[in-house]
Amino acid sequence: MTITFVPLTDPVQTSSSRRVAWLAADADGNPLGSAFLRLFTREGQDHLAELELNVHPAERRKGTGTLLLKRAVDAARQEGRRSLLAQAGAGTPGDLFLPARKFRKVLGLTFARLALAEADLTAVAAVAAEPRPGYRLHSWDGMVPDDLADTFTASRRAMDDMPMDDTDYGVVTWDVERVRAAARTIADRGDLLHTVVAVAESDGSIAGFTELVVPGDGRGDGQHYGTGVLPEHRGHGLARWMKAEAIGQARARHPELGGLLTDTADSNTHMRAVNDSLGYVPTHKKHEYQLDL
């Protein structure tokens, strides 16, 4: 079978990455599969590329995936990348494809969902209402307010020691412009960003945060982004407190929202326990693979 590959470049680049892609088709122009390669560009992650590869189920085991992978690997090497990451659902064809091509499993992820119509929202509200001496909750929509921009940016280092097992994910360095750019990206695609933070009463600094992104029409499922607490403020139940507040706000403000989604590294036992305690139910697992180039 003759396979043609059409290279594409994503016309929209972000401040932290750019993408290239290949579409595979047969001699009649019928699509067979695709590969999207994200090249991270910020210092600290510019050694890294991330791959999303898909082949139509009817066309698998015919060599299309292998050829698409070769193009992506060659491009990553030409760009001077050291590591190539890819994800596959546990037990899926990709979970067999990647390790057979020298990718090694570096991280397990558990995905979970809180069905809002079935959740014990009274219990969740009780968690949010519990006082945490020395701290108060605060929240905003969209872009961080100017008066909190610096302390919110500083609080992002709470994610620096997030369990990533053997993944060579580099160092994510945040500045105020990157924080604002991330919020703009969410707004530009029509989604709503809600942020809840725990503020230290002693100096007004942000001790921890949790972010939730909701579809612009307030329907379907929302997606939790980062949740983190600075090391010096851990041990006070702030992550559970903030997440409970975010759940309550989401239910009150978006009554047609179906559920909230989250994913957590299997080794992040603390955050998995937080999710379990708030009623999140595991739905599926994925594996993160890495190819050392």
Three-state secondary structure along 184-231?
A: HHHHHCCCEEEEEEEEECCCCCEEEEEEEEECCCCCEEEEEEEEEECH
pLDDT of residue 21: 95
Distance CA 186, CA 142 (A): 8
The CATH classification of domain 4-81, taken from the options 3.40.50.2300, 3.40.50.300, 3.40.630.30, 3.30.460.80: 3.40.630.30
Question: What percent of the chain is helix, strand and coil (3-state, nearest 5)?
Answer: 30, 35, 30
pLDDT digits (tens, 9 = 90+) for 182-228: 999 999 999 999 999 999 999 999 999 999 999 999 999 999 999 99
Domain boundaries, the chain: 4-81, 112-283
CB 158 within 8 A of CB 230: yes
- Mean pLDDT value across residues 159-170: 83
112-283, which class in CATH? Answer: alpha beta
Q: Is 99 helix (H, G, I), strand (E, B) or coil?
A: helix
Identical fold for domains 4-81 and 112-283, yes or no, is yes
Closest CA to 290 of 27, 92, 47: 47
- Judged against a pLDDT cut of 80, whether residue 1 lies above it is answered with no
pLDDT digits (tens, 9 = 90+) for 42-61: 888 999 999 999 999 999 99
State whether the Cα torsion 85-89-90-92 is positive or negative. negative
Q: What is the pTM of this model?
A: 0.91
CB 127 within 8 A of CB 244: yes
